[in-house]
Chain A
C-alpha cells in the first residue's frame, strides 16, 4: 500500500508496522 508523509513524499510499504515505520504516514487512496 502507498503512504504519504506530511511533506507529500510517498512510500510503498507492504506491511505497515508502527514499530518500524514512521507514524505520520497516511494511506494514499488507490488510483490517486
Chain B
C-alpha cells in the first residue's frame, strides 16, 4: 500500500500544483484545496494513465479519499496479473 501512496504523491503534487503536498490514506477531498470535481477528473485521468488501469463511473465517485483510491488501484492491478 505504501508503494502505491509513494507513486500517487507526485501525481497529486502535479495535479494540485503543490510541491509541499503530503498525503496519507486519510487524505480526502476536504483536505486538499482544488480537489473538487474538476480536480478529481484530472486526478483520475492521471492515475489511470500512470497505473495503466480504468475506473468505472461508480468507482470514480467513490474514490474521494486517498485510502479508497489506493484500495481500488490495488484491486485493479491485481486483476491485471
Tell me if chain B binds chain A.
Answer: no
B residues engaging A (CB < 8 A)? none
A residues engaging B (CB < 8 A)? none
